[in-house]
Chains A and B, each alone.
Chain A
Amino acid sequence: MTLIGEKGVRRILLATALSAISALLLIALFIIKEGLPFIFHYGLWNFLSSSDWEPQAGKFGIFPMVAASLWVTFGAMVVGAPLGVAGALFLSEFAPRPVMRVIKPMIELLAAIPSVVYGFIGVMVLAPLIRDYLGGPGLSVLAASIILGIMILPTVISISIDSIMAVPQSYREGSLALGATVWQTIHMVTIRAARSGILASIILGMGRAIGETMAVIMVAGNAVKIPHSALESVRSLTANIALEMSYATGLHRQALFATGVILFVVIIILNSAAMVAIRGKAARK
């Protein structure tokens, strides 16, 4: 510190922060620069709604991938949101404080496990179970939904716990003192008071599920088609980019970048929604 002085340290930190931000901006700009011209060229509606993805024939309809991403994300929500919110409620309202203090960081650690590990478990354990007991190829919408549902648990649980714990104890006391049971207090007061945080946790989880790539490639089966049942193989938007980018050239390459732009916009919308949900709560207080 003495060597470079306070001012020097501040400059270095500022430079680091600026370069991180500019790196992000550059990436965003690059994707948009590569992808946007294609969208104008091919037509946004055509691009999104056509079902034919045949790069060699110059057909770039990503509708099957859009449908796959939506289905898989929806499935992940069905699996992960109730489980996550219930887990958060249990840990914050019922479990003894010391237990919560140990378990919450452990759950947050689950987010640090590389997604390839989740995918591996999906391939080795889940997909065979689905194939043997429910039929189909195993690698499917269902498998991807379950794996993604588990992967978003840390996000949902951790943010939900924070918002449930931020509910003033006086609300709970007020409710119990009026003769409400613990359960009535939870669903009539606590959840309502924490709902914007809980909502934000679910939206952020959704963002994670849509953007997840490796695990989905491994367990969803990657067939380019519109699924008619949860047991069929599908290919998500992210998987499509990752699988084809290595050999794509020309228009094909641009189409993949354009897919990236679409994902980028969707995730920005989701994150903004989460932020609005959290802000809205702060404003109402």
Chain B
Amino acid sequence: MSSAPLSPDGPGRNRFEISKLDLFYGDFQALKSVEMSVRDRMITALIGPSGCGKSTLLRCLNRMNDLIHGTRIQGKVLLDGQDIYHASTDVTNLRKRVGMVFQRPNPFPLSLYNNVVYGLRVAGVHSRKELDEIVERSLRAAWLWDVVSDRLDHSALELPLDQQQRLCVARLLAVQPEVILMDEPCSALDPIATMKIEELMLELKKEYTIIIVTHNMQQAARVSDFTGYMLLGEMIEFGGTKDIFTRPSNKLTDDYITGKYG
């Protein structure tokens, strides 16, 4: 982290620009006029109590909410200046650019190898040599290569949970996304495995833009550059992580990070 406090208005390129974003599940409004920007090659954390809409906001960024029947969206989500909700958007291409790691590790019931190459196969890459190279590169980047290189043909479901989660990261890296969304990636993991994923995130930050949802405030403070605090569907405060945790400008944020909430 740089020593000067980061600010959303400071220098640097924004990947996502979100403005006046409302989202409805049927009649229920889960996001209320959310404003946020996501800086290139930085880690942005979303924190807030359960049910405040963190996952919902995250899933707006790769249009995973499209899968849920009856969702409706207003407002703008720009990725590099392009509205991803515009009718001309190619959603599969968007999801290749904006990858996602889920709360519970969800490797496919296939071999390790076939998990990692899945995204490439669906994109039409079939050259065995190319796939082999990418498998090694992706597994190395997810710090898994040394652990599993001798059993790539084993089922992914045999791995312990934290390795499954890193396999899901590797599977994502294989398609070379630009942005990585992580929805509580450590909540199913023990503290040591959590630390590993956090270190991995700091490493990945050199090449990827990362947005992470977390319940764990220490985690947000440890890894993120920017933090957004959400409450009941609203973005209460968004800014540099240091600012949010040391001198929040909103009383609600202060209450939450000092543990007075609820």
- Chain A contact residues, CB within 8 Å of chain B: 96-97, 168, 170-171, 173-181, 184, 188-189, 192-193, 284-285
Number of B interface residues in the complex (CB < 8 A):
28
Smallest CB separation, A214 vs chain B (Å)? 41
A285 touches B122 (CB 8 A): no
A176 to B62, CA, bound (A): 10
A179, B94: Cα distance in complex, Å: 7
Check if B106 sits within 8 Å of A170, measured CB to CB. yes
| Cβ A179 vs Cβ B108 within 8 A | no
B95 contacts which chain A residues (CB < 8 A)?
Answer: 176-179
Q: How far is the CA of A27 from the CA of B190 in the complex (A)?
A: 57
Q: Residue of B at shortest CB range from A178?
A: B119
Q: Check if B152 is an interface residue, CB within 8 A of chain A.
A: no
A171 with B109, Cβ < 8 A, contacts A178-B95, A179-B95, A188-B122 known: yes
* CA A174 to CA B168, docked complex, whole Å: 9
Give the residues in chain A near B155, CB-CB below 8 Å. Answer: 284
On chain A, the residues within 8 Å of B172 by CB distance are 178
B122 touches A180 (CB 8 A): yes
List, in ascending order, chain A residues with CB within 8 A of B50's CB.
none
- Cβ of B109: which chain A residues have Cβ within 8 Å of it? 171, 192-193, 284
Contact among B107, B118, B168, B175 with A188 in the assembled complex (CB-CB below 8 Å)? B118
Q: Is B104 an interface residue (CB 8 A)?
A: yes
Q: How far is the CA of A230 from the CA of B69 in the complex (A)?
A: 47
On whether the beta carbons of B108 and A173 are closer than 8 Å, the reply is no
Also in contact, A178 and B96, with CB within 8 A (given A184-B122, A192-B110): yes
Assembly CA distance A285 to B64 (angstroms): 26
By a CB distance below 8 angstroms, the chain A residues around B96 are 178-179
Q: Which residue of chain B has the shortest Cβ distance to A183 in the bound complex?
A: B122
Asked if A174 and B123 sit within 8 Å, CB to CB, the answer is no
B249, CB-defined interface residue at 8 Å = no
Tell whether B100 is near chain A: CB-to-CB under 8 Å.
yes
B60 at the interface (CB under 8 A from A): no
B99 within 8 A of A: yes
Name the prevailing secondary structure of the A interface residues.
helix
Q: Mark B98-115, 1 if CB is under 8 A from A, else 0.
A: 011010101111100000
Q: Which of B102, B108, B110, B119 has the most CB of A within 10 A?
A: B108
Neighbouring B residues of A192 by C-beta, 8 Å? 108-110
Q: Indicate which residue in B99, B104, B118 contacts A180 across the interface (CB closer than 8 Å).
A: B118
Known: A173-B106, A179-B175, A180-B122. 8 other contacts (CB 8 A): A173-B64, A173-B67, A174-B107, A178-B99, A178-B171, A179-B92, A179-B119, A188-B121
**Considering the complex, which residues of chain B in the window 11-69 have a beta carbon less than 8 Å from any beta carbon of chain A?**
62, 64, 67, 69
Assuming the contacts A173-B64, A173-B67, asked whether A179 and B123 have C-beta atoms less than 8 A apart, the reply is yes
State the CA gap A174–B64 with chains docked (Å). Answer: 10
B189 at the interface (CB under 8 A from A): no
Bound Cα distance A19, B108 (Å): 46
Q: Chain B residues with Cβ under 8 A from A174's Cβ?
A: 102, 106-108, 168
Assess whether A178 is in contact with B102, with CB atoms less than 8 Å apart.
no
Q: Are A178 and B118 in contact (CB under 8 A)?
A: yes
B 142-177 binary contact with A (CB < 8 Å = 1; else 0): 000000000000010100000000001001100100
Least distance between B209 CB and chain A CB atoms (Å): 16
Of the residues B69, B99, B104, B107, contact of A177 by C-beta under 8 Å: B99
A-B contact pairs, 22 of them (CB 8 A): A96-B69, A97-B69, A170-B106, A171-B106, A171-B109, A173-B64, A173-B67, A174-B106, A176-B64, A178-B119, A178-B175, A179-B92, A179-B95, A179-B119, A179-B175, A180-B92, A188-B118, A188-B121, A189-B108, A193-B108, A193-B109, A284-B155
**Whole-angstrom CA separation of A178 from B123 in the bound complex:** 9
How far is it, in angstroms, between the C-alpha of A146 and the C-alpha of B104 when the chains are bound? Answer: 46
Q: Check if B216 is an interface residue, CB within 8 A of chain A.
A: no
Closest-CB distance, B158 to chain A (whole angstroms): 10
Write the nearest CB–CB distance from A284 to chain B, whole angstroms: 7
* Residue ID in chain A nearest B96 by CB atoms: A179
* Contact of B74 with A by CB under 8 A: no
